[in-house]
Amino acid sequence: MNKIIVTAVFSLFPLVAWAQPKGYTSVKNTTTFETELSNANAGIRTINSDFSQTKNMALLAEKVKSKGKFYFMKEDKIRIEYTQPFSYILVMNKGQVLVKDEQKTSKVNTKNSKALQSVNRIMIDCMRGTILSNPDFKASVFESGNSYLIALIPSQAAMKNMFSGIDIYLTKKQFDVTRLVMKENGGDLTDMNFSNAQHNQPLNETLFKVK
């Protein structure tokens, strides 16, 4: 069950392999970058945005496409709600994970799984701007004309067994996450793009209910 949920969580994020990405150059002073990223996120209490996701599966020629809504509330509450072509909800709230599809609801405590703890932390780190401090991944930072790319490679066994890495794309203007890519060891790749992001809009606490 835990592996299924970890895969479901990370299918929300895009990943690629690790040489210097085309069109990007390496950021030499990552300390300055991390400070700017943290400062940009310090004033953000809530985020809500649309997303579109493309899943490339190694055993299938056809790509699986879906859409939905993403919600974040400080300190550590996340809701990812797929609305097309099916209904699927994933909520992470203070170490608890809720997964709900059209047939059933499952709840998991991340304290019982190192992999889920790592997933929970990386998602929160993305929103807090503390991603470079995550000890479970080795991070490299790149930049292009108007965006940054944080390339993460797993450094802890549970993540290494499932994933090759994670790419996080951010705007230079506001450090908004615009794209996440995930590459699984089996060859599957998930590409998630965010749009229409709104900051500090009121969100109902019930969105993040895990009971």
The 3-state secondary structure of 119-159, one letter per residue: HHHHHHHHHHCCHHHCCCEEEEEEECCCEEEEEEEECCHHH
Q: Considering the entire predicted model, what is its pTM? A: 0.81
| β-strands 177-184, 88-93 pairing | unpaired
Which CA distances in Å does 52 have to 57, 142, 192? Answer: 16, 24, 6
Which CA distances in Å does 32 have to 28, 39, 47, 74, 144? Answer: 9, 11, 24, 24, 16
Taking only the tens place, the pLDDT of each residue in 20-61 is: 688 899 998 999 998 899 888 888 999 999 999 998 887 777
Q: What angle do CA 9, 10, 14 make, to 5 degrees?
A: 140
Taking only the tens place, the pLDDT of each residue in 104-134 is: 888 877 666 666 666 677 777 877 778 888 8
Domain range annotation of the chain? 2-208
Rounded to the nearest 10 degrees, the angle between the axes of helix 114-128 and helix 2-10 is 20
The predicted model gives 170-188 an average pLDDT of: 87
Residue 144 pLDDT > 90: yes
Taking only the tens place, the pLDDT of each residue in 61-72 is: 778 899 999 999
Alpha-carbon Rg for the chain in angstroms: 16
Q: What is the topology classification, in CATH, of domain 2-208?
A: outer membrane lipoprotein receptor (LolB), chain A (2.50.20)
Amino acid at 103: Q
Query: What's the gap between Cα 5 and its chain centre?
Result: 14
pLDDT-derived band at 166, boundaries 50, 70, 90 = confident
The predicted model gives 169-180 an average pLDDT of: 91
For residues 67 and 82, is the Cβ–Cβ distance under 8 A? yes
pLDDT value of residue 143: 96
Q: Who wins on pLDDT, 160 or 112? A: 160
Residue 12 pLDDT > 50: no
The predicted model gives 67-88 an average pLDDT of: 92
